[in-house]
Amino acid sequence: MSFHAVTVSLFPEMFPGPLGLSLAGRALEDKQWQLSTVNIRDFGLTKHRQVDDTPYGGGPGMVMRPDVIDAALTQAMDIAPHNKILFMSPRGTPFTQNHAKEFATLPGLTLLCGRFEGIDERALETWQEKWGLAELSIGDYILSGGELAALTVLDATIRLLPGVMGNGESGASESFSEPLLEYPQYTRPHSWNNKIVPDVLLSGDHQKIAKWRQEQAEGLTKKRRPDLWQRYTSEK
């Protein structure tokens, strides 16, 4: 059975979006993963399909209603009952490569995409208590909605599904697959814009090449991501 992604959104037309192209797109065509969408608007109230209301206690904006969200998630559960359920939220746990690796081993993901000022806390609490809903963040910034975050999580996950990247080693040395950032890469031509490929990469000496790449990865990590460097050195 292929990995099943279910998105719950007011804008289902945003999917598959970029996931319909390149690696993920080919994998979708090859049925290595499948996509279903749930339109939250379908569960809106009154003839206007209202999905939100003003916040109790006052304040700007609107809040998505718990009854509407509950109905939409229930349909998503009917579609893929064994999926892990995620709510894309800036207050969630920061998304990492380790999450992507874990998600790629699951039957699928159901991703709830919020809008406006957020979702009534009671809906989130109910689905966390009953079905293990988890909140996930892709960074310390605010987007217009959770759709772009959901696309990011799915892209990072789908490329790790068996057979999607083709060469099983192609992702092994990428940044965040290991404790260090990835070393620099080079290809033809040998000389370009008065810059040449480092001689060690042309030497054919695999031991020297591996040593050079390790040194480059360490240097880049120490310079650009001191947080990762500190973690790396503390674990050695």
Q: Which amino acid is at 103?
A: F
Q: What is the pLDDT of residue 175?
A: 57
Spatial distance between the Cα atoms of 140 and 151, rounded to a whole number of angstroms:
17
Spatial distance between the Cα atoms of 117 and 141, rounded to a whole number of angstroms:
14
DSSP 8-state class, residue 227: H
Q: What is the pLDDT of residue 169?
A: 47
Q: What is the pLDDT of residue 155?
A: 98
Residues present in the chain in total: 236
Q: Which amino acid is at 41?
A: R
pTM for this prediction: 0.91
Residues of the chain with CATH 3.40.1280.10: 3-158
3-state secondary structure at position 36: strand
**Pairing verdict, β 63-64 and 52-53:** antiparallel
Tens place of pLDDT per residue across the chain (236 aa): 799 999 999 999 999 999 999 999 999 999 999 999 999 999 999 999 999 999 999 999 999 999 999 999 999 999 999 999 999 999 999 999 999 999 999 999 999 999 999 999 999 999 999 999 999 999 999 999 999 999 999 999 999 999 999 755 455 556 565 789 999 999 999 999 999 999 999 999 999 999 999 999 999 999 999 999 999 999 87
Spatial distance between the Cα atoms of 96 and 73, rounded to a whole number of angstroms:
25
Q: What is the pLDDT of residue 235?
A: 85
CATH label, 3-158, candidates 2.60.40.420, 3.40.50.10490, 3.40.1280.10, 3.40.50.300: 3.40.1280.10
Q: Which residues of 163-176 are buried (b: 16+ CB within 10 A; e: fewer)?
A: ebeeeeeebeeebb
